[in-house]
Structure 1
Amino acid sequence: MSSPTPTHAPVPTSAPAGLRKFIVVGDVHADFAGLWGALRAAGCVTPGGQPTPPVRSGLYQVVLLGDLVHPKSQRAYDELLGATYDCHDPAHQAQVAAVQIEGLRAVRDYQAQAPGSVHIVLGNHDDVLVQPRFVLGTSGGLRHTEFDPRHGGTPLPADLSAWVGTFLRELRVGRVQFAHVGPLPAHACYDEWFYSDTSSKRWFLDTPEYVELAGLAFGVYGHTQMDRGIVVHEGHRFALADALHRREYLELMLDPGRENPLHNWRVVQF
């Protein structure tokens, strides 16, 4: 594995009082190997899967932007299954659900060992785990039904369902917001309107001023895959960080006591 490569000025290794490092990982979509790779590169997880001392102490804060489940593509499902995945085959559904359940338990256990230092934002794919009102899928016709009992899937175990219920609609650090989709409250309400409204995928193109209008100094969002990697728009004060597939994560140095908490940032390749 290559060494992490910053694409911006390095983040200080020692933090003044009040300054904390935030390690932000975009949408996981069952790529747990990628998630752990990012956290290893950031110095946030031990070889045994436990939080490192900086995470346990709160000096490092880990933020996951949601969508922990549902591989993004047919190929990703095939890799998870070890064969060609058929979303209509109950046996295939059960197998990929079991693999993802194992991954979710590992993330839950990691979070539990560092209370207050690991934050998970609720994505729309996480939401349907506990409220299976919609069948999500891809433009290519792939359906994410492995956890939907209405379509032959395996219900999420009760303990994991309760844990997903603790995920955040947003995380605020002073005037910096971390959310799955965007700065508006409606962007975190995964109802019929959300799925019929194109703004969840276009707000940063059509109305990037939403971040400023919301009174935010900076916002960090996922949901829309960044094919060329993490995008940081300093003029409009936001970052789009759904780029785990590109093996990238975002680091921010924040001091919530400042009017503008953002001290520095960098995109890291691992």
Structure 2
Amino acid sequence: MRKFLAFGDVHADFDTLWAALRAASCADANGRPTPPVQAGLYQVVLIGDLVHPKNEREYSRLTGVHRFDPKNPDHLFLAAREQVKHLEQLREYQLAAPHAIHIILGNHDDAVLNTSFVLGTSGGLVHTEFDPDHGGIHLPDHLKHWMQGFPRELRVGSVQFAHVSPLPAHTHYDDLFYADRSPKRWFRDTPEYVQMAGLSFGVYGHTQIEDGILLDETHHLAMIDALHGREYLELMLNPDQPDPLISVRAVPF
């Protein structure tokens, strides 16, 4: 039996991520994997979207700029620099225990690797700090290589961890993905997708859940983009069983 600790979309809120990892006994005060993680008894899963703060207020907090301007190259440089610094620390953490620390590729991570799409918010904010064609800078090569190795899903028996949903189409962030409304709505409109995919349980992010982690025990899924609400998901799994799930709960920190 192993404990899986799943953490929602980071969106450059690394301080909250590290607080959650420490609260879950997955990281020590120096940002290193704890003995249970090193031993593989604790399995850490980050559900994706490491980069791009969610709004201008969060960009200002990250950069120290009073009023962040996404069209100002100096502000974009500060946003990129601060994210690179934190990504370096997270990379060192993951590489210290790659057998036990898993990072799923989110669509924002993919957009940094492949700058074909300029992502933004409904309020008009665009994320271009890693897009040289729009005033940003290149992600350093070693970080790009690291992120290119992120899987699009993690499966433990019939339990799935993925960024968006159980649908294979939702693991490829192309024109169809961004034109489709279902990535943000599927868990409310068609939650039976989890069981239709032959899964006993699914853990997903991508859609921010305002009231904390959404744990839908009827449809066997959890939506965990709730790091901002200071919650993570704890699952007890027996990887040797076809249906490995023993228990699941949302944990405040």
TM-score tier by shorter-chain length is over 0.9
- Between 1 and 2, higher relative CO (CA 8 Å, sep ≥ 6) is seen in 1
Is the partner of 1:70 in helix, strand or coil? coil
Aligned position for 1:131: 114
Q: Confirm whether residue 89 of structure 1 aligns to residue 34 of structure 2.
A: no
Aligned position for 2:147: 164
Say if 1:56 and 1:115, in contact at 8 Å, map to a contact too. Answer: no
Aligned position for 1:111: 94
Aligned position for 1:4: none
Deviation at 1:259, TM superposition (A): 2.9
Deviation at 1:129, TM superposition (A): 1.0
Is the partner of 2:219 in helix, strand or coil? coil
Q: Alignment partner for residue 32 of structure 1, among 14, 17, 21? A: 14
Amino acid at match of 1:50: R
Aligned position for 1:184: 167
Q: Confirm whether residue 47 of structure 1 aligns to residue 11 of structure 2.
A: no
Return the TM-score normalized by structure 2. Answer: 0.99
Identical amino acids, percent of aligned pairs: 60
Amino acid at match of 1:263: I
1-side partners of 2:94 and 2:87: how far apart? 11
Deviation at 1:163, TM superposition (A): 0.4
Deviation at 1:206, TM superposition (A): 1.2
Aligned position for 2:59: 77
Deviations 1:39-91 (A, max 9, x none): 00000111111100000000000000000000001110111111211000000
2-side partners of 1:260 and 1:42: how far apart? 24
1-side partners of 2:23 and 2:45: how far apart? 15
2-side partners of 1:248 and 1:73: how far apart? 20
2-side partners of 1:112 and 1:231: how far apart? 30
Deviations 1:130-188 (A, max 9, x none): 10010000000000000011101011000000000010100000100000000011011
Is the partner of 1:267 in helix, strand or coil? strand
Amino acid at match of 2:177: F
Deviation at 1:209, TM superposition (A): 0.7
1-side partners of 2:207 and 2:244: how far apart? 25
2-side partners of 1:206 and 1:23: how far apart? 27
Say if 1:211 and 1:236, in contact at 8 Å, map to a contact too. Answer: yes
Aligned position for 2:219: 236
1-side partners of 2:59 and 2:193: how far apart? 35
Alignment: residue pair count:
252
Greater than 2 Å deviation, 4+ residue runs: none
2-side partners of 1:260 and 1:206: how far apart? 25
Say if 1:180 and 1:223, in contact at 8 Å, map to a contact too. Answer: yes
Say if 1:55 and 1:61, in contact at 8 Å, map to a contact too. Answer: yes
Say if 1:175 and 1:256, in contact at 8 Å, map to a contact too. Answer: no
2-side partners of 1:231 and 1:49: how far apart? 28
Aligned position for 2:182: 199
Deviation at 1:115, TM superposition (A): 2.2
Deviation at 1:92, TM superposition (A): 0.4
Is the partner of 1:220 in helix, strand or coil? strand
Q: What root-mean-square deviation, in Å, do the aligned CA atoms of Structure 1 and Structure 2 show? A: 0.6
Q: Alignment partner for residue 49 of structure 2, among 54, 67, 70? A: 67
Return the TM-score normalized by structure 1. Answer: 0.92
Deviation at 1:257, TM superposition (A): 1.8
Is the partner of 2:58 in helix, strand or coil? helix
Is the partner of 1:177 in helix, strand or coil? strand
